[in-house]
Structure 1
């Protein structure tokens, strides 16, 4: 009797785990206002809690992100999912700020292991080993995980029973499903014998560095905006939409992530260089609109800017990731994906932490204007790099090459 999942199901499971990692990352965001009210902590404390998560993710990616290339995807995923379940239980029973620090730190460590192994497994387990489709699955799962995580948590906080526990109980149920699936997942990696533990720092082979640069720039511009939204989005949404509702406060994040997901599905066949170019340009326009919204105190412009930014986020992130995934040698998948996610989570966390520290001296609106301008500059730089990566006609032969 065959006790392993069919390849299409296993591929979908890997995508589900990636989405679940982002789902878990954003679930606490709509709850922070309630935590702050209950335990009377400052915005600086909230920023430090988020920083603890980011440090955990980056520590795992930098020190052990490529280990699944040697020991296999399944063992790493099982340990990572167990860690995520343990952190979720800590969130359910959190009774102080200290509990949040411990839960967020453990969640970060587990997330780093989960996303690197699942990102590599996504291509290993694709029925046709198609890098383009695997990149699409990764990007859509990430954007959908963010959108659903914020939406479900916001609704449950606003209307649910036990609002500080119910979002995590939903998350725990999803993690249990993923854990059970990994038990039956086929192992695509031949485990090395006599493995000795050593630091597994990510490495990008020379042949992959061109696609890696484009992918890194697209993820820096898109995920840094995501970090700003996780840090400032609920407060900015509440101020511009003039509401204290958890659902309305999170509407900007949902609009960003939902439009990103839709753009990835609709524009998935766009050439990678063109998608990176158009996506980065749209991201710059969308962020500029949000900056205008903060100056004009306009909730409508804020939501339009969130949607436009989301379209740019989605297609830019997808195109850069597709260009990278198609160039990675099989034996370096986890290592390169760990390097990629290290860049991604630095982009997600560093602006969020710095923005959180800047709100006190600068104010909410001014902080977003300053950091939004930086995102626009990175997006415009990505437009230039994407243009240079376009297919170039070769003289006389009429052939084309891609850089």
Structure 2
């Protein structure tokens, strides 16, 4: 029912609608991880360099950042449901580009569009989850938001790896399956998810999101940025170079193994957030950064040993550190940001996150050829470890 001025009335909260949006969130992030086990096949088929591979990977993150800057608050102005529907439709188009890809240019286009659609979708979905929960439990909604992200990435990588290993047409079958799932979710959201935003006329749809951090919380923001940089740079390492490391350094030529490597890091990260959800922000940051550093050390040891078992142990340990570090950093920003500047502060925070998940991996791709993949990993791990150690020291000092 509409008001006289044409704005929508907030409807009753719906469990079906809540879990439909949560499933779509997990799906969107699963789609973003599907190419990771397949990158080595694209590289072998079209003969492009490691630098090109990481640039293709980073195109996704660039699309997300653009979406955050131009459409971060779009659903606040035009409504949640239309933004969710249009962004899922954009994901479908990006998946079809992967299905018909016959060169590296198609990969750039598919990843860029996928990033734009995912960035627009996640902004709207985050608000919708908080507004649709039947008991108005914002803490639970936030937990579902963060864990569905990690679980989606892990599931996407494993399913893609399994399909690529065991079914025909490995570079197309995963995307065809995703298109079918996307159409089901699109139908559920279009027909069963109610609008939760009262829209007012005359407001611009797209506008540049300001990136501003209030002076009184800049110290907290710097600590949180160090944490999210360390966590998401590790995620970028596994998503962008996990397949190359498994194939070249560990001599494991199996798509499913690559997916399981990502599951070991991302899936465990999501599980750690669920298990330790009552942990304080400071404790999560301290335990998370320490565990992250330990995991990177174990992973570094596994490479000269050529030991997949030790490598998986390092990935699991790193995953726990990733999950807790990300959780502690995000909560620190959310709690510190004043209400009047929360949107701007969170936009700046997630720009840091997506730069972290893309820029270091691109650099790694360029230096891998002259330095070798193992040396590149050691330098990469040392940089991430330094950021995690800086956050650890800063948190201990503040505590």
Mapped partners of 1:255, 1:192: distance in 2: 45
SS of the aligned residue for 1:193 comes to coil
Mapped partners of 1:36, 1:354: distance in 2: 18
Return the offset for 1:327: 6.0
Cross-structure match for 1:386: 395
2:356 is the alignment partner of 1:347: yes
Cross-structure match for 1:115: 122
Return the offset for 1:239: 3.5
2:35 is the alignment partner of 1:47: no
Mapped partners of 1:154, 1:252: distance in 2: 10
Structure 1's 56 and 191: CA in aligned 2 closer, same or farther, altered over 3 A?
Answer: same
Mapped partners of 1:132, 1:24: distance in 2: 26
Cross-structure match for 1:191: 199
Cross-structure match for 2:91: 84
> Which range is displaced more, 26-35 or 278-287?
26-35
Q: Residue 132 of structure 1 contacts residue 322 of structure 1 at CA under 8 Å; is this kept in 2?
A: no
Structure 1's 15 and 197: CA in aligned 2 closer, same or farther, altered over 3 A?
Answer: closer
Q: Please list, as runs of the form range in 1=range in 2, the aligned pairs for 1:5-20 lying within 5 A after superposition.
A: 6-20=13-27
Q: Residue 36 of structure 2 contacts residue 157 of structure 2 at CA under 8 Å; is this kept in 1?
A: yes
Structure 1's 71 and 329: CA in aligned 2 closer, same or farther, altered over 3 A?
Answer: farther
User: Alpha carbon RMSD of aligned pairs, Å?
Assistant: 2.6
Return the offset for 1:369: 0.3
SS of the aligned residue for 1:236 comes to helix
- After superposition, the C-alpha distances for 1:64-111 in whole angstroms (9 at most, x for unaligned) are 212222222222222211111110111111122221121111111111
SS of the aligned residue for 1:244 comes to coil
Cross-structure match for 1:24: 31
SS of the aligned residue for 1:226 comes to helix
Cross-structure match for 2:103: 96
Q: Please list, as runs of the form range in 1=range in 2, the aligned pairs for 1:107-186 lying within 5 A after superposition.
A: 107-183=114-190, 184-186=192-194
Q: Please list, as runs of the form range in 1=range in 2, the aligned pairs for 1:331-342 lying within 5 A after superposition.
A: 335-342=344-351
2:21 is the alignment partner of 1:35: no
- Runs of 5+ in structure 2 lacking a partner? 2-8
TM-score w.r.t. the length of structure 2 is 0.89
Cross-structure match for 1:300: 309
TM-score w.r.t. the length of structure 1 is 0.88
1:200 aligned residue (202, 205, 208)? 208
> Which range is displaced more, 287-296 or 156-165?
287-296
2:79 aligned residue (62, 67, 72)? 72
Cross-structure match for 1:375: 384
SS of the aligned residue for 2:194 comes to coil
SS of the aligned residue for 1:250 comes to helix
Mapped partners of 1:277, 1:179: distance in 2: 40
Structure 1's 205 and 359: CA in aligned 2 closer, same or farther, altered over 3 A?
Answer: closer
Q: Residue 272 of structure 1 contacts residue 322 of structure 1 at CA under 8 Å; is this kept in 2?
A: yes
- After superposition, the C-alpha distances for 1:265-296 in whole angstroms (9 at most, x for unaligned) are 22111112211211111011111211222243
Q: Residue 286 of structure 1 contacts residue 305 of structure 1 at CA under 8 Å; is this kept in 2?
A: yes
Q: Please list, as runs of the form range in 1=range in 2, the aligned pairs for 1:234-313 lying within 5 A after superposition.
A: 234-313=243-322
- After superposition, the C-alpha distances for 1:306-364 in whole angstroms (9 at most, x for unaligned) are 11000111122223334444566778766554333322211111111111111111110
Return the offset for 1:37: 2.5
Structure 1's 82 and 198: CA in aligned 2 closer, same or farther, altered over 3 A?
Answer: closer
Return the offset for 1:248: 2.0
> Which range is displaced more, 338-347 or 2-11?
2-11
Mapped partners of 1:258, 1:132: distance in 2: 20
Q: Residue 218 of structure 1 contacts residue 379 of structure 1 at CA under 8 Å; is this kept in 2?
A: yes
Mapped partners of 2:141, 2:219: distance in 1: 19
SS of the aligned residue for 2:326 comes to helix
Mapped partners of 1:74, 1:157: distance in 2: 34
2:70 is the alignment partner of 1:63: yes
